[in-house]
């Protein structure tokens, strides 16, 4: 079940076609709060940010470090994405493992997870989630991202993305095609 605040904003923007509200929210400058940055630094992770464009979301990248043992090496990172339309975020955890097979087709194995991949990440994420929850942010899980939002149809120049819109696309992408490129 979606938070009423989220469904109300989606209805206002996409069903009632409130373009002024949409563009106002997309134009807002979004920065991570200092306490969240402090939590990232406390756990000895590093943060990189994308440019703060006129767009429905803002992304940040967290470097969680690497683990090496002999020839085995794994890099850990994460993408932190905030919607500017509502107080919602997701944090995807990535890993990349070098493929040392001499017959390898790909130089590495990669995957994305919705939950932490290491104990250190888990301690960090518990504290980070709690802080964002205190600030009123809703965490959108991988399962929730895929919820189809009725009454919104998306016609993309690339037909792969046309059709029904899922929650995360509605909250983080320019479905209305109204922001400057």
Rounded Cα–Cα distance for residues 172 and 140 (Å) = 11
pLDDT of residue 179: 92
pLDDT of residue 51: 83
Confidence of residue 160 (pLDDT cuts 50, 70, 90): low
| pLDDT tens, residue by residue, 80-123 | 999 999 999 999 999 999 999 999 999 999 999 999 999 999 99
Structure tokens at 57: 């979301």
Q: Which of 48, 58, 60 is nearest to 84 (CA)?
A: 58
Angle at 179 between CA 176 and CA 181, to 5 degrees: 120
| pLDDT tens, residue by residue, 18-74 | 999 999 999 999 999 999 999 999 999 999 998 888 999 999 999 999 999 999 999
In terms of Cβ atoms closer than 10 Å to its own Cβ (0-12, 13-18, 19+), residue 177 is exposed
More confident residue, 101 or 152: 101
pLDDT of residue 24: 97
SS3 144: helix
Domain locations along the chain: 4-141
CB-CB contact of 103 with 153 (8 Å): no
pLDDT of residue 152: 77
110 contacts: CB under 8 Å, gap ≥ 6 = 94, 95, 96, 97
Structure tokens at 91: 């944090």
- The pTM (predicted TM-score) of the whole model is 0.90
pLDDT of residue 157: 58
| pLDDT tens, residue by residue, 115-146 | 999 999 999 999 999 999 999 999 999 999 99
pLDDT of residue 154: 66
Rounded Cα–Cα distance for residues 48 and 57 (Å) = 15
């Amino acid at each position: 079940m979606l938070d009423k605040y989220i469904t109300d904003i989606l209805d206002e923007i996409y069903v009632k076609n409130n373009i002024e509200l949409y563009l106002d929210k997309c134009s807002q400058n979004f920065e991570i709060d200092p306490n969240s940055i402090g939590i990232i630094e406390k756990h000895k992770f590093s943060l990189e940010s994308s440019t703060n464009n006129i767009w429905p979301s803002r992304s940040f990248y967290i470097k969680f470090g690497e683990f090496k043992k002999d020839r085995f090496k794994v890099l850990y990172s994460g993408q932190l994405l905030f919607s500017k339309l509502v107080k919602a975020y997701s944090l995807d955890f990535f890993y990349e493992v070098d493929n040392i097979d001499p017959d390898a087709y790909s130089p590495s194995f990669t995957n994305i997870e919705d939950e932490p991949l290491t104990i250190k990440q888990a301690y960090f994420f518990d504290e980070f989630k709690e802080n964002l929850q205190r600030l009123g942010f809703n965490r959108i899980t991988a399962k929730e991202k895929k919820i189809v939002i009725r009454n919104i149809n998306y016609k993309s120049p690339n037909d792969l993305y046309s059709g029904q819109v899922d929650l995360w696309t509605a909250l983080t992408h320019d479905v209305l095609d109204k922001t400057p490129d």
